[in-house]
Amino acid sequence: MGRVEGKVALVTGGASGIGKATVQMLVREGAQVVITDMNESEGKALEEIAGTIFLWHNVTDETLWKSVISETITTFGKLDILVNCAGVTGMTAPQNPENTTLETWRQVMSVNMEGVFLGCKYAIPVMKEHGGGSIVNVSSYAGIIGTPFATAYGASKAGVQQFSKSIALYCAQQGYKIRCNSILPGAILTPLWEPFLSGEEREERMNQVVKDIPLKVWGEPDDVAYAILYLASDESKFVTGAEIVIDGGQSAV
């Protein structure tokens, strides 16, 4: 029997990177999964996995959130697990305090913070109707360190951690049997890193990142997906309001 056998999960940003690894792991462990993303081609390709459906989804759109939750219930009858994995770095534009534009700031906050807020807002009512559930919000180690050249990103991810604690306490106090935790990945080799790594100096840039990681290796999407699987499963029934850092020791330095 799988670790999440019989559960229904919704994974935003599920078409690539950490989200994709999470989808594949949850399915392997017995869950049925709704995959949402704006990358329709890669998302549709994942529908070949039995027990999954793909829905195009902009997480900043409140109307689409209502539709996605409704489609999840119509298709699978319940929602046990929400993984808010969709996110952007916003690093295609300057993000230091002096040069970040209000447009860039708002874009990053809209996806990384408002997307998580909307997901929790609309998942909680259906979870409590069906006996509870688990919400896993993907933050970043950037939320617990200073990020002088990624100010919007770091601030948004710190917000996700604080919001997750508030959701955890609210649901516990209301007796909803809904747990909420956050995951803080470090340097995980996913498409989000491509803007920093692409070009002739790719290998040098990759090595430069590794120098700052005590374990001296890049993380892989599965490293994060295993932690998400734990928090999604009943193995973590006494865990809520927690943060799990997966960064090769970088935040401990």
The Cα 85–Cα 118 span in angstroms is 13
Annotated active-site residue 153? The verdict is yes
* Other residues' Cβ atoms within 10 Å of the Cβ of residue 148: 9
The Cα 160–Cα 151 span in angstroms is 14
Question: Given 153, 176, 226, 230, which residue is catalytic?
Answer: 153
Alpha helices, DSSP H, located in 77-144? 102-109, 115-129
The Cα 94–Cα 85 span in angstroms is 23
* Other residues' Cβ atoms within 10 Å of the Cβ of residue 218: 17
- Contact 228/77 with Cβ under 8 angstroms? no
Q: What is the DSSP string of 3-52?
A: TTTT-EEEEETTTSHHHHHHHHHHHHTT-EEEEEES-HHHHHHHTTSTTE
Catalytic residues: 153
